[in-house]
Structure 1
Amino acid sequence: MPGEGDPHAEVMFIGEAPGYHEDRQGRPFVGPAGQFLNELLGRAGLRREQVYITNVVKCRPPGNRDPLPDEIAACAPYLDEQIAVIRPSVIVTLGRYSMARWFPNEKISRIHGKPRRFGDVVVVPMYHPAAALHQPALKELVEKDFDALREIIAQARAEAARTVEAQQSEEKAQQMRLF
């Protein structure tokens, strides 16, 4: 399952692996966790059509178990290519397995909702929506993280605009030196 969404999305969501409903429909986040994700997107001022949604592992693990390290490694080139093609300015990791790609030695309970820049991309680790469905105590925390996502996206957008402006200014200055 490759993923779906806007091929020019500003925001990419990366989950863990397809579940039962996703495997049956061939689409990411269509089961109960996907329905909750759709609600959470609304809290962040986003619609599903505006974002790109994928997973770290592209096939459903047997018995819906957690992805194994070799499965994550086998699918990494596909995820790398998706990120290179979509070129999002914000990546939201949903769950610890997608979070581990950028934050390998961290705990999601410690860093959820805290953005960090990696080159041109802001990565925001968040709990997986399914975690809030299985542990109701997390629901309010997940909702607050998504409420803050709107501002994180706005900051990333503003920073990208400043970078483009600085590059254009530098190019103009270099052109003027030629004459």
Structure 2
Amino acid sequence: MSWDERQRAMLAEMGLRVWSPVPQQEALAEPLRTPAAALAPVSASSAAPSAAPTHAAPAIAAVQALPTALRPSESLESTPPAAGGAARSPAIARMDWAELRSSAAACQACALCGGRSNSVFGAGPVRADCLVVGEAPGEQEDAQGEPFAGQSAQLLGNMLRAINLSFALDPNSPAPERQVYLSSALKCRPPPGSTPGAAELEQCRPYLARQIELVKPRVILAMGRLAVQTLLGSSEPLGRLRGRVHDYQGTPVIVTLAPSYLLRNLSEKARAWEDLCLVQATLQGLGPR
């Protein structure tokens, strides 16, 4: 209901106050009365807290009260990304073995570094026919500072010896076995129950890439999802990648299951044996170094 001026006066005399909406034209015109100076950007050199218009103070306070991630002035486009593994890779690519090991031990590039006991760098001869890449250190690997410890190491050793490969050269052996260098996609132990993601793999990838350059393996055995994801950049199930030879910068790559998985699923050992036979056939096809 609308009231004229005479009715409003009568109601006022009776002590009744009537709500009066702002006329539509006046409401629409209100923003146009904002001083132009309040809408213009203020340079850092000329801005001063006392110069801010009083009507703009509530809006400024509201923005400042927002969490950092939600402030419009701090969008992803305007925030430079943190230096990742790709940014550090040129320096890592020039390191020798001693520098590489020292850099990996001192690395603090991701959250995994804070919960480790040791940096699990790698083990084996600096030149090897086969490079075995595992996923990530477990509790025993972290304690010993070497990849593939405990039952996983015992199982892997038996598997490799079956195709004439060995962790270390036995000088007393009449027919020395081909040598193997052991490494892993991640150099630090993930917290129990956690699943490392692409960010953690990206930080460790340059270290593995440099290890491959220094070892110069003739074939790479990728054991487990994280190893495959790092080397081949593929998130496909291992079952689709097994049974054929892949490529990492000119080096043959064979995909298989991780020893820790085989220990929990004994029936899968037959599939892993097929993959090892493919490693052996690939090496034999390449001939002597």
> 1:89 and 2:218 equivalent?
yes
CA deviation string 1:86-135 (max 9, x = no partner): 11121110001111231514220122242123443001111111111111
Check if 1:54 corresponds to 2:183: yes
Among candidates 142, 157, 171, match of residue 272 of structure 2: 142
Moved over 6 A (4+): none
Structure 2 distance, partners of 1:66, 1:9, is 30
1:44–1:148: 8 Å Cα contact kept in structure 2? Answer: no
Normalised to the residue count of structure 2, the TM-score between the two structures is 0.52
CA contact (8 A) 2:128 2:181 kept: yes
CA contact (8 A) 2:138 2:189 kept: yes
Alignment of 1:20-39 (within 5 A): 20-39=139-158
Aligned residue for 1:29, secondary structure, equals coil
Is contact 2:254–2:278 with CA below 8 Å preserved after alignment?
no
Q: Deviations over 1:33-87 (max 9, x none)?
A: 1111001101221111111000010000011633222111111111111111111
Q: Shift of residue 141 of structure 1?
A: 1.2
Aligned partner (choices 88, 108, 123) of residue 4 of structure 1: 123
State the partner residue of 2:160: 41
Contact 2:134 2:183 in 1 (8 A): yes
Q: Is the 8 A contact 1:113 1:125 kept in 2?
A: yes
- Mapped partners of 1:117, 1:74: distance in 2: 22
What are the ranges of 5 or more consecutive residues in structure 2 without an aligned counterpart?
Answer: 1-119, 169-178
Larger Rg: 2
TM-score between the two structures when normalised by the length of structure 1: 0.82
Kept in 1: contact 2:254–2:275 (CA 8 A): no
Equivalent-residue separation in structure 2 for 1:66 and 1:5 (angstroms): 27
2:255–2:275: 8 Å Cα contact kept in structure 1? Answer: no
Alignment of 1:44-123 (within 5 A): 44-49=163-168, 50-63=179-192, 65-101=194-230, 102-123=232-253
Amino acid at match of 2:276: F
Unmatched runs of 5 consecutive residues or more in structure 1: 162-179
Higher relative contact order (CA 8 A, sep 6+): 1
Q: What is the aligned partner in structure 1 of residue 137 from structure 2?
A: 18
Following superposition, the deviation at residue 147 of structure 1 comes to 3.0
